[in-house]
Amino acid sequence: MTTTTGPIDLTGKFVASRRRPPRHWMDLTPAQRVESVTELGLPAYRAKQISSQWFSRLETDPANWTDLPVAVRQPVVDEFFPTLLVPIREQFADAGLTIKTAWRAFDGAVIESVIMRYPGRTTICISSEAGCGMACPFCATGQGGLQRNLSAGEIVWQVHDAARRLANGELPGGPARVNNIVFMGMGEPMANYRAVLAAVRQIHAPAPDGLGISARGLTISTVGMVPRIKQLIDEDLPVTLALSLHAPDDELRDELVPLNRHFNVAAVLDAAWDYANATRRRVSIEYILIKDINDQAWRADLLAKLLKARGDWGWFHVNLIPLNPTPGSKWTASRRSDEQAFVTHLERAGVPVTVRDTRGREIDGACGQLAARTRP
Ligand code: SAH
């Protein structure tokens, strides 16, 4: 990347400005859709018909949009339905119940999403950016830097495609619906706030305007961009916030999450508490366990103290994630005994804690592993 004129991300690096992805139906609000079909010379009610096909019936083949006259379909497709993402590789793990898809975008950028099926529920882990500018040293995506933000259409595409294939019973495990969506793929969702929020609204909007997936099943995970957390409070969307903390002290967090130098432990925890307090939704505190780096019992005690000092009504839940080492990493996952001691110290302090299961490890589909090694 050689631009010197692009916008600057919060880590201070220049970001190359690129052409924007083509506009898609999924980039438009319901009002803009009506406006756009009218501009195309069609009656306003066509917007609802098109949305019903796309979002309610999950029908992607215009040949089956039989309520639209044949002569109308092609102009509509040309205008509003460019192919945004092409699947270039698919990997299965956990007896086919974890599926990682690598996608190529219009400009060659490669991103990934993961479908995880559990008994009675299905979670989709999606990307919000191609690459990531946050530079966390343990994260595969962070090591490659930021390529660009995704459009709302590109974000929703990942969910729409998964929902369609699940509904049609195309994936191992039989037909299913999408229950949870987590922004834990590539990218920092808060650094692409506008597109992420537009995507969230569409994922959440009842059919036919959107996918009608309960926002309660939606989780936005962030390294702690404090102003954006505050902004999200005002959106009044019941989205779950996950804060990637990883260390309770600034000295270590400055290294593990470089954005900490702008928004430190106290600032991000205050923002997380504000979010919980305003929305009455429990915030998920994400904490990777790295052997001999952040897994000491005293750090568990300090973490418990900091969380409880801000309020004790159960506004937080700690989610421990065994480190999934990136290739060539100097760090590894904690010893079992240290992990257990960390859990015990939190539990003794009355902190609700779970250790996250690490689906899809063998296909690099686990958290922070979405590095898009597939090249176009
Ligand atoms: N940028 C956002 C969302 C993407 S990462 C964030 O940082 O929250 C989603 C989660 O995976 C984060 O909690 C992140 O810290 C974690 N993660 C990243 N790399 C990992 C690794 N190598 N092993 C385990 N978890 C990792």
For 285-334, write each residue's pLDDT tens digit.
Answer: 999 999 999 999 999 999 999 999 999 889 999 999 999 998 888 999 99
Q: The tokens of 209 are what?
A: 């305007």
Q: Whole-angstrom Cα distance, residue 154 to residue 160? A: 10
Tell me, yes or no, whether 125 and 48 share the same domain.
no
Domain boundary among 16, 46, 80: 80
Among the residue ranges 125-134, 145-154, 183-192, 319-328, the one predicted with the least confidence is 319-328
Where do runs of H (alpha helix) occur along the chain? 30-39, 45-51, 70-80, 140-143, 152-167, 193-204, 226-235, 250-256, 265-279, 297-309, 336-348
Active site residue 90: no
Ligand 1 center–CA 286 separation, angstroms: 8
Total domains in the fold of the chain: 2
Q: Is residue 196 a part of any domain in this protein?
A: yes
Position 18 scores a pLDDT of 55
Position 186 scores a pLDDT of 96
Position 236 scores a pLDDT of 85
Tell me the mean pLDDT in the region 265-285: 97
pLDDT tops 90 at residue 374: no
Identify the active-site residue in 132, 136, 139, 367.
367
Tell me, yes or no, whether 69 and 113 share the same domain.
no
Position 180 scores a pLDDT of 95
Tell me, yes or no, whether 60 and 90 share the same domain.
no
Ligand 1 center–CA 82 separation, angstroms: 31
Work out whether the CA dihedral 308, 258, 221, 373 comes out positive or negative: negative
Task: Give a three-class secondary structure readout of 15-68.
Answer: CCCCCCCCCCHHHCCHHHHHHHHHHCCCCCHHHHHHHHHHHHCCCCCHHHCCCC
pLDDT tops 50 at residue 142: yes
pLDDT tops 90 at residue 219: yes
Q: Is residue 7 a part of any domain in this protein?
A: no
| pLDDT one-digit tens code per residue, 22-43 | 999 999 999 999 999 999 999 9
Ligand 1 center–CA 367 separation, angstroms: 5
Tell me, yes or no, whether 63 and 177 share the same domain.
no
Tell me, yes or no, whether 304 and 166 share the same domain.
yes
Tell me, yes or no, whether 325 and 195 share the same domain.
yes
Decide: 284 in ligand 1 pocket, CB within 6 A.
no
Helix axes 226-235 and 265-279, enclosed angle (nearest 10): 0
Decide: 288 in ligand 1 pocket, CB within 6 A.
yes
Active site residue 136: no
Domain boundary among 63, 80, 97: 80
Identify the active-site residue in 35, 79, 112, 251.
112
Tell me, yes or no, whether 193 and 46 share the same domain.
no
Q: Is residue 17 a part of any domain in this protein?
A: no
Q: Is residue 142 a part of any domain in this protein?
A: yes
For 63, the domain range is 25-80
Position 373 scores a pLDDT of 56
Decide: 368 in ligand 1 pocket, CB within 6 A.
yes
Ligand 1 center–CA 211 separation, angstroms: 26
Q: How confident is the model at residue 372 (pLDDT cuts 50, 70, 90)?
A: low
Tell me, yes or no, whether 70 and 157 share the same domain.
no
Position 15 scores a pLDDT of 47
Q: Is residue 347 a part of any domain in this protein?
A: yes
What's the CATH code of the domain at 55? 1.10.150.530
Tell me, yes or no, whether 47 and 94 share the same domain.
no
Q: Count CB atoms within 10 A of the CB of residue 157.
A: 24
Tell me, yes or no, whether 110 and 259 share the same domain.
yes
Position 6 scores a pLDDT of 37
Domain boundary among 33, 58, 80: 80
Tell me, yes or no, whether 38 and 114 share the same domain.
no
Ligand 1 center–CA 191 separation, angstroms: 15
The ligand 1 atom at the shortest distance from the C-alpha of residue 324 is 23
Q: How confident is the model at residue 356 (pLDDT cuts 50, 70, 90)?
A: confident
Q: The tokens of 226 are what?
A: 């404090």
pLDDT tops 70 at residue 10: no
Q: Is residue 4 a part of any domain in this protein?
A: no
Q: Is residue 106 a part of any domain in this protein?
A: yes
Decide: 161 in ligand 1 pocket, CB within 6 A.
no
Reading phi first (left if > 0) and then psi (alpha if -120 to 50, else beta), residue 365 is in: alpha
What's the CATH code of the domain at 181? 3.20.20.70
Tell me, yes or no, whether 189 and 222 share the same domain.
yes
Q: Considering the chain, what is the average pLDDT of its residues?
A: 91
| pLDDT one-digit tens code per residue, 188-202 | 999 999 999 999 999
- Of 112, 116, 139, 364, which is best to mutate to test ligand 1, by the most ligand atoms within 8 angstroms of its C-beta? 139
Q: Is residue 2 a part of any domain in this protein?
A: no
pLDDT tops 70 at residue 370: no
